[in-house]
A and B are shown apart, each in its own frame.
Chain A
Amino acid sequence: MIPITDDELMTYLDGEMTAEDVERLEDALVHDAEARARLATFRSIRRAAAQAFAPAELSAGLAAFAESLDADSPLPDQPGARLRAAPKSRPLGAPREWLAAAAAAAITFGTMIALSPDPAGPAPGSLLATAGDRIVAVAILEHALQSQAAGDRHTSEVRIVTSFIASNGDPCRQFGLLGDQRAGGLACFSNGTWQVEVLASLAPEGAFLPAGLGQDPIAAAAVRLGVRREIGPDEEADLIRREWRAAPAPD
């Protein structure tokens, strides 16, 4: 009996064998339990890969881009014409829609970071400090929350994902930490500081987590805070200008 190779089994699973070779291989497999076991292993791995990478729900930005593709406007006729601004400036609509997007965006976050407030103040390089019973953002995290536009992720180690008004009226922002910190969370502006409502670590590098294997802490925090509405780019720019203070009441 000629041994059945792994490459033959993979070619068979990939549907790339000729009909003649398929018949020959299947005849041989009937008499080769060891090869059938290898085939079962390869089939399981292949199926697991397909399941792990099942097409995901699109992020809000890409969903908006898909809508723009469906629109009955002409194709851009200039090479390099950019459509990216349109999806980013598109209002996301109902808070529920935003929450779904936030949950999808935040699904990469895994276990909660244990926050250990240091009464002596933040250590050098720390992004958090205690203020009474609250945990507030400091250093580059505070700076980004205060002054960085959502979606602008090439200007610092912090990426602001989105901004919204919570049910109590406070402006809140979802952020991600790039580089070594590999974490993200939600912070809300209250009493002149950015109070961190939740902070979650990213899964370790190389650890790929399928969805549904744990509740996403950032989405859960957004639900707890309540999302009254998303803050659009214009309002966000205005709030950054006013250092996140409420607009003066009209006369």
Chain B
Amino acid sequence: MPKRDDITFRRELASLLPRARRFALVLTRNAAEADDLTQAALERAMVKASLYDPSKRLDTWVFKIMQNHWIDQRRKMARRGTQTGIDALAFTAGEDGRTLMETHDLVRRVAGAIGTLQEEQRAVVALVWIDGFKYQDAADVLGIPVGTVMSRLSRARQNLLARLGEGAAP
């Protein structure tokens, strides 16, 4: 029989899956790659379970594993010369479909603009704006100083505004 802690840990991992997959989607911009990255990251988290410090946030730990794995994957793909296409993202309407439909044009343009950001900017946008991480937690995931999180967010905001143009201002 597995230990009770193991079962709890796995269930907590399972509950993180939708958020982890969303982070993967923003990183990879490809639905199939996002599925693979999510599963690989959670598998790694299970293998490394004994290294997890329960006093720390599990989501931060798992997202960091995912970020590191993605960097490894990118390096391997670059060495092999492999390129992955950018999918249109598999979005959902969210909980409030009506609100989304009312604002879907802005949602679509913002999503498209996020897709054009550099990867390091997409990552901070995904963590802070989309997932609600605090700057310090985002910094822990990405292994960068808080000040760098802030400067990347600032550049992301400027790039998004430029991409959306003045006419897109709601």
B130 and A205 within 8 A (CB) = no
A52 and B111 within 8 A (CB) = yes
B65 within 8 A of partner (CB): no
Q: Given A55-B19, A56-B21, A58-B18, are A210 and B91 also a contact pair (CB < 8 Å)?
A: yes
**Residue numbers in B under 8 Å from A78 (CB-CB):** 47
B85 and A179 within 8 A (CB) = yes
Kindly report which residue of chain B lies nearest to residue A60, judged by CB atoms.
B35
CB-CB nearest 3 A-B residue pairs:
A54-B94, A55-B18, A52-B111
How many Å lie between the Cα of A16 and that of B92 in the bound state? 29
A80 and B47 within 8 A (CB) = yes
B135 and A16 within 8 A (CB) = yes
A113 within 8 A of partner (CB): no
Known: A45-B164, A211-B92. 17 other contacts (CB 8 A): A10-B157, A40-B170, A46-B129, A53-B26, A56-B90, A58-B17, A72-B7, A75-B46, A76-B43, A79-B47, A83-B43, A84-B39, A205-B85, A208-B112, A210-B100, A212-B92, A212-B97
B162 within 8 A of partner (CB): no
Of B35, B49, B101, B125, which one neighbours A62 at CB under 8 angstroms?
B35
A75 and B107 within 8 A (CB) = no
A41 within 8 A of partner (CB): yes
Give me the interface of A with B, judged by CB distance under 8 Å. Answer: 6-7, 10-11, 14-16, 40-42, 44-46, 48-59, 61-62, 65-66, 69-76, 78-84, 87, 104-105, 107-110, 153, 159, 176, 178-179, 182, 202-203, 205-213
Q: List CB contacts (< 8 Å) of B77-93 with chain A.
A: 85-93
Kindly report which residue of chain B lies nearest to residue A74, judged by CB atoms.
B2
**Residue numbers in B under 8 Å from A211 (CB-CB):** 90-93
Q: Given A11-B150, A40-B170, A62-B38, are A69 and B104 also a contact pair (CB < 8 Å)?
A: no
Query: In the complex, what's the smallest C-beta–C-beta distance from A186 to chain B, in angstroms?
Result: 17
Of A57, A72, A179, which one neighbours B92 at CB under 8 angstroms?
A57
B111 and A210 within 8 A (CB) = yes
Kindly report which residue of chain B lies nearest to residue A154, judged by CB atoms.
B82
Of A41, A49, A66, which one neighbours B170 at CB under 8 angstroms?
A41
**Residue numbers in A under 8 Å from B103 (CB-CB):** 44, 48, 51
How many Å lie between the Cα of A203 and that of B94 in the bound state? 21
A51 and B17 within 8 A (CB) = no
B58 within 8 A of partner (CB): no
B89 and A208 within 8 A (CB) = yes
B164 and A53 within 8 A (CB) = no
Kindly report which residue of chain A lies nearest to residue B9, judged by CB atoms.
A75
Of B9, B11, B89, B134, which one neighbours A53 at CB under 8 angstroms?
B89
B49 and A55 within 8 A (CB) = no
How many Å lie between the Cα of A206 and that of B113 in the bound state? 8
Q: Given A51-B103, A59-B35, are A108 and B10 also a contact pair (CB < 8 Å)?
A: no
Q: Given A54-B92, A104-B90, A210-B93, are A48 and B107 also a contact pair (CB < 8 Å)?
A: yes
Kindly report which residue of chain B lies nearest to residue A209, judged by CB atoms.
B88
Of B10, B39, B106, B157, which one neighbours A70 at CB under 8 angstroms?
B10
**Residue numbers in B under 8 Å from A44 (CB-CB):** 103, 106, 170
